[in-house]
Amino acid sequence: MLKESKGIRLEHISKIYQDPKTGKDFKAVDDANLVIEPGSFVTLLGPSGCGKTTTLRMIAGFESPDEGEIYLGDQPINELTPNKRDTAMVFQSYALFPHYNVFDNVAYGLKLRKLDKKVIHDKVMEILDLVELSGMEGRMTNQLSGGQQQRVALARALVVEPSVLLFDEPLSNLDAKLRVSMRTEIRNIQQRVGITAVYVTHDQSEAMALSDQIIIMNKGVVSQIGTPQEIYYHPADEFVADFIGEANFLRGRLVQKDGEKGVLSIDNHDVEVDDIGSFEVGSDCTVVLRPEAAVLAPEGQLPCKVVMSCFMGEYQNYHVMAGDTLVKITDFNPKHKRIYRVGEEAFVRFDTCDVHII
């Protein structure tokens, strides 16, 4: 149905705005270099104001970079208006026409291209079948649920057969349960048609569920690019580790090194780790320990005292103090496990391969 998808390349892209309060310039996007492979699903993820939406809008042509060049395939597109770019956007608000029915909303872009009526009809019906809206082509958009409206917006973007599909937080107006089902549908449709997709969100779970690659942005700068697994298990810095899921940060010093393995002194306790990276003996470093990677036990690496113990059904949620450091622990399937109560002493125990050093 769709022509061959294309990749996107950003070379030293910057966007400069003026702060209305101070009158000073600031870079909303600062020297971004990105390569998005054809047919991949890539998410721009970060907190509000990190530059992710500005980056998406520059790819779409709604904003112009002040520095650098954007390529769609091998074609530079900085000078092209949005309608001349081989892209389509699914907006946060859906931007549907309320006085049009579903068919006319989806057909709008094809009519602008002055295609034959039979061709338009066939393309619209094919795409409505793809997004599971067959039989609803005569309904007005105000007669549709939020999820159905989102599908109409997706169909309208897909029907013009773009090489790249852009998403600007398209699920933010849906309730939590519907968001989960719709992100699954978006991913399934993207994989079936093989289109390149660039998706903006601030929702970490959404990014993890959808993406082949995640681009983490912070204050206009690309902090890390990687698969969801790479981002989660091997974060580049504390910002990435803290933004993706929950993380404990244990401060220590490397006191022994043997190849890739090493021993850290954390609160005067020796803790073995499997991969100390490029750190040398005497270096201060930080251990990233995910809550689900640790358990409470009679013996372990770090002595601690329980300050919170909360049963959450599928897991027992603990907060413990290891010296002066608060450590969060998520112990799954606690039914047949020893439950520690507030005030009890225990040890934080974890596998040496389950920590990451930054």
Per the structure block, which two tokens stand in for 7? 């990749």
Residue ranges covered by each domain of the chain: 8-241, 246-357
Contact call for residues 316 and 296 (beta carbons, < 8 A) = no
Domain 8-241 and domain 246-357 have a common topology: no
Place of tokens 């990451």: 356
**Domain 246-357 fold:** OB fold (Dihydrolipoamide Acetyltransferase, E2P) (2.40.50)
186 has a pLDDT exceeding 60: yes
Domain 8-241, CATH homologous superfamily name and number: P-loop containing nucleotide triphosphate hydrolases (3.40.50.300)
| Whole-angstrom distance, CA of residue 144 vs CA of residue 136 | 9
pLDDT in the model for residue 150? 87
| Tens of pLDDT, residues 17-45 | 988 888 888 899 999 999 999 999 999 99
Q: How far apart are alpha carbons 111 and 297 in whole angstroms?
A: 67
pLDDT at 75: 94
Q: Which of 150-154, 157-161, 273-277, 336-340 has the highest mean pLDDT?
A: 336-340
What gap in Å lies between CA 108 and CA 155, rounded to an integer? 11
pLDDT digits (tens, 9 = 90+) for 309-328: 999 999 999 999 999 999 99
Mean pLDDT of the chain: 91
pLDDT at residue 1 tops 60: no
For residue 294, is pLDDT > 80?
Answer: yes
Q: Which among 153, 215, 234, 142 has a CA at the least distance from the CA of 189?
A: 153
The pTM score is 0.87
